[in-house]
Amino acid sequence: MHGVGDPTGDEVSMTEMTRRERIMTATRKKRADKLPFFSLWRHSQIGWAERECRNRGMGMYWQRPPYIMKMHGVKSTETQVIASGAVVLRRTYSTPVGSIYLDEKREPGVEQWKGLASWRDVSPWQTERLIKGPEDYKVLKYMVENTEYIPYYFPIEQAMDWLGDDGVVVDRLPHSPMQMLMIDWIGSEGGRFFIHHAKYPDLVEDLYRAISKSREPLYEIAAKSPAPITSCGDNIDGVLVNPKLFQKYFMPEYEKQAKVLHEHGKLMQVHMDGRVGVLKDLITKTPIDIVEGLTSPPMGDLLIGEALSLWKDKVVWTGFPGSVLILGPEAVKKHALNLLREVGSGDRLVIELCTETLLSDENLLLLTSILENADLPLTKEKIDRIERSLA
Partner 1 sequence: MVRGKYLASLKESIVNLDFNAVVETAKEAMDAGVDPQIAITDGIVLGMTIIGEKYETGEYFLSELVVAGEVMKEGMKVITPYIKGGSAKKLGAVVIATVEGDNHDLGKNIVTTLLRVHGFEVVDLGTDVPTDTIINAVKKRKPDILGLSALLTVTMPKMGEAIESLKMADLREKVKVIVGGSPVTSEFAESIGADHCAANALEGVKKCMEWVTPRETR
Under rule CB under 8 A, residue 293 binds partner 1:
no
Give the footprint of partner 1 on residues 308-337 (CB under 8 A): 321-323, 325-327, 331
> What are the counts of helices (DSSP H) followed by strands (DSSP E) for the chain?
15, 14
Under rule CB under 8 A, residue 105 binds partner 1:
yes
Cβ distance 79 to 90 under 8 Å? Answer: yes
Whose Cβ is closer to partner 1: residue 327's or residue 337's?
327
Whose Cβ is closer to partner 1: residue 94's or residue 127's?
127
Nearest CA among 271, 273, 276, 218 for reference residue 242: 276
Under rule CB under 8 A, residue 199 binds partner 1:
yes
Candidates 22, 141, 175, 197; binder of partner 1 (CB under 8 A) is: 197
Whose Cβ is closer to partner 1: residue 35's or residue 245's?
245
CB of 263 to partner 1, least distance (A): 35
CB of 353 to partner 1, least distance (A): 13
Those residues with Cβ within 8 angstroms of residue 138's Cβ, 6 or more apart along the chain or in another chain: 97, 98
Candidates 28, 29, 120, 259; binder of partner 1 (CB under 8 A) is: 120
Under rule CB under 8 A, residue 360 binds partner 1:
no
- DSSP character at residue 166: G
Neighbours of 206 (CB within 10 A): 13
Nearest CA among 27, 11, 30, 15 for reference residue 59: 27
Per DSSP, helices labelled H in 164-200 are: 177-179, 192-199
Those residues with Cβ within 8 angstroms of residue 214's Cβ, 6 or more apart along the chain or in another chain: 144, 145, 147, 149
CA dist 140 and 211 (Å) reads 10
Whose Cβ is closer to partner 1: residue 94's or residue 247's?
247
Give the footprint of partner 1 on residues 220-259 (CB under 8 A): 237, 239-240, 242-245
Number of residues that bind partner 1 (CB under 8 A): 38
CB of 243 to partner 1, least distance (A): 8
Under rule CB under 8 A, residue 298 binds partner 1:
yes
CA dist 104 and 126 (Å) reads 4
CB of 188 to partner 1, least distance (A): 6
Rg (CA), the chain: 22
Q: Which residues sit at the interface with partner 1, rule CB under 8 A? A: 105, 107, 120-122, 125, 127, 188-191, 194-195, 197-199, 237, 239-240, 242-245, 274-275, 278, 298-299, 321-323, 325-327, 331, 356-358
